Structure 1
Amino acid sequence: MPRSELTPRSLGELCLHHLAENPSQLAEFMGMTGYSPDALRRAAGTAGLDHGLIDYFASNEALLLALAANNSFRPDDFMRVWARLNPSG
């Protein structure tokens, strides 16, 4: 994915798809955030979930590296989007 296409919405979608393909990671995310399956389905596509997913991946280097490798973008490009969402760091 070209760097110019990385937005909070596109990254949120990529993160959610990555977790959906890895049930143990999805369960860990849901446990940490308190999302039930129904609540997660209702939140899909919202800015709040996108931001939460981006924060979650940014805090887990292994997940971030796997996501970047599987989707052909650099981890630095992901972190630039994260930094825009979290200007105070």
Structure 2
Amino acid sequence: MNYLVVLDVRSPIGAIYNRKADTNVPDAEAQLSHPALLCSDVSIDHPTYLFATRPLKGDKSHQSLHIPHHAVVAIYRVNEEDAAPMGFPI
């Protein structure tokens, strides 16, 4: 199972990952482009932070992230066998 975590570009972590993101998601209404990270695991159990595991390209290592909930625009679950993502905003 893979997840696409869309970060708010106006948040500090969104600004950091704006150039290092796996992809960008346009927001036509706000005229912004939000960075999005492809993650292999996501947990929203913590009251303040989202825990995400992001595999690094070309390596077998991963990056563990604790992202504040207010910095997340949306999370989309992407099944490998499905072409269209299914998501939910938090």
TM-score greater than 0.5 by the shorter chain: no
Which one has a larger percent strand, Structure 1 or Structure 2? Answer: 2
Q: Highest relative contact order (Cα 8 Å, sep 6+), 1 or 2?
A: 1
TM-score under structure 1 length normalisation:
0.28
Q: TM-score, normalised by structure 2?
A: 0.28
Comparing both structures, which one devotes a greater share of its residues to helix? Answer: 1
